[in-house]
Structure 1
Amino acid sequence: MISYKSTLLTLCTTLMFSFAARAQENNLHHRSTTYEPPKDPQVIKKLEKWQDQKFGMIIHWGIYAVPGIIESWSICSEDWIERDSTTTYNDYKKWYWGLSEKFNPVNFNPEQWADAADAAGMRYLVFTTKHHDGFNMFDTQQTDFKISNGPFADNPRADVAKYVFEAFRKKGFMIGAYFSKPDWHSEYYWWPKYATATRNNNYDIRKNPWRWNKFKEFTYNQISELMHNYGSIDILWLDGGWVRPRETVNDEVLSWGAPIPEWSQDIDMPKIAGMARKAQPGILMVDRTVHGAYENYQTPEQRIPDEKIDNPWESCMTLGNAWSHVPGDKFKSAAKVVHSLVEIVAKGGSLLLGVGPRPDGTLSQEVIDRLQGIGNWMSKNGEAIYNTRTVEHFRDGNTYFTQNPEKKKTYAIACLPEGEAIPETVTWKGNLPKKGSRIKLLQNGKNVKWEREGDKIKVFLPASVQQDTTLSALAFSFVVEK
Structure 2
Amino acid sequence: MTYTRKRNLLLLFISLCFLSTYAQEHNVSAGYQKPTDPTVLENLETWQDLKFGLFMHWGTYSQWGIVESWSLCPEDEGWTQRKPEHGETYFEYVKNYENLQKTFNPVDFNPQKWADAAKAAGMKYVVFTTKHHDGFAMFDTKESDYKITSPNTPFSTNPKADVTKAIFSTFRNEGFKIGAYFSKPDWHTDYYWWSYFPPKDRNVNYDPLKYPDRWEKYKTFTYNQINELTSNYGKVDILWLDGGWVRPFKTIDQNVEWQRTIKVEQDIDMDRIGNMARTNQPGIIVVDRTVPGEWENYVTPEQAIPEHPLDIPWESCITMGNSFSYVPNDQYKPTQKIVETLAKIISRGGNYLLNIAPGPNGDFDQAAYDRLGELSSWVAINESAIYATRAIAPYHEGDYYYTRSKDYKTINVFHLSEGKDYQQPEIFQFSISDNFNVKDVKVLGYKGKVKWSKNNDKLVVEAPKMDVRYASVIQLTLK
TM-score normalised by L of structure 1: 0.91
Q: Is the 8 A contact 1:431 1:480 kept in 2?
A: no
Aligned to 2:429: 427
Aligned to 1:238: 241
Aligned to 1:13: none
Aligned to 1:440: 442
**Structure 1: runs of 5 or more not aligned:** 1-19
Q: Is the 8 A contact 1:438 1:447 kept in 2?
A: no
Residue 151 in 1 paired to residue 154 in 2?
Answer: yes
Which of 187, 191, 195 in structure 2 is aligned with 1:188? 191
SS for the counterpart of 1:23 is: coil
Quote the offset at 1:355 in angstroms.
0.6
Q: Is the 8 A contact 1:403 1:411 kept in 2?
A: yes
CA shift in 2, pair 1:462/1:63, >3 Å:
same
Aligned to 1:16: none
Quote the offset at 1:448 in angstroms.
1.5
Name the amino acid aligned to 1:286. V
**Structure 2: runs of 5 or more not aligned:** 1-18
Aligned to 1:391: 392
Which of 26, 30, 51 in structure 2 is aligned with 1:29? 26
Q: Which runs of 4+ in 1 moved over 6 A?
A: none
Superimposed CA distance per residue, residues 270-305 of structure 1 (whole angstroms, 9 cap, x where no aligned partner): 000111101100000000010000000000000000
Quote the offset at 1:446 in angstroms.
3.7
CA shift in 2, pair 1:236/1:420, >3 Å:
closer
CA shift in 2, pair 1:436/1:457, >3 Å:
closer
Counterpart-to-counterpart distance in 1, 2:199 and 2:374: 43
Q: Is the 8 A contact 1:432 1:480 kept in 2?
A: no
Q: Is the 8 A contact 1:442 1:474 kept in 2?
A: yes
Quote the offset at 1:447 in angstroms.
3.2
- Output aligned runs, 1:121-200, within 5 Å: 121-149=122-150, 150-200=153-203
Q: Is the 8 A contact 1:30 1:256 kept in 2?
A: no
Residue 216 in 1 paired to residue 219 in 2?
Answer: yes
Aligned to 1:14: none
Aligned to 1:284: 285
Counterpart-to-counterpart distance in 1, 2:20 and 2:402: 31
Aligned to 2:68: 71
- Output aligned runs, 1:330-345, within 5 Å: 330-345=331-346
Superimposed CA distance per residue, residues 416-446 of structure 1 (whole angstroms, 9 cap, x where no aligned partner): 3332533211111124695672201112244
Quote the RMSD (CA, aligned, Å).
Answer: 1.6
Aligned to 1:450: 452
Residue 320 in 1 paired to residue 317 in 2?
Answer: no
Residue 459 in 1 paired to residue 457 in 2?
Answer: no
Q: Is the 8 A contact 2:416 2:422 kept in 1?
A: no
Quote the offset at 1:480 in angstroms.
4.3
Counterpart-to-counterpart distance in 1, 2:336 and 2:244: 32
Quote the offset at 1:23 in angstroms.
3.4
Tell me which moved more, 82-91 or 153-162: 82-91
Tell me which moved more, 128-137 or 439-448: 439-448
Quote the offset at 1:228 in angstroms.
0.5
Superimposed CA distance per residue, residues 144-182 of structure 1 (whole angstroms, 9 cap, x where no aligned partner): 000011101111111110000011011100000000000
Quote the offset at 1:192 in angstroms.
0.9
What is the number of residues matched between the two proteins? 454
Q: Is the 8 A contact 1:433 1:478 kept in 2?
A: no
Aligned to 2:294: 293
Name the amino acid aligned to 2:427. T
Superimposed CA distance per residue, residues 213-260 of structure 1 (whole angstroms, 9 cap, x where no aligned partner): 1000000000000010000000000000111000000234xx233553
CA shift in 2, pair 1:436/1:411, >3 Å:
closer
Name the amino acid aligned to 1:438. D
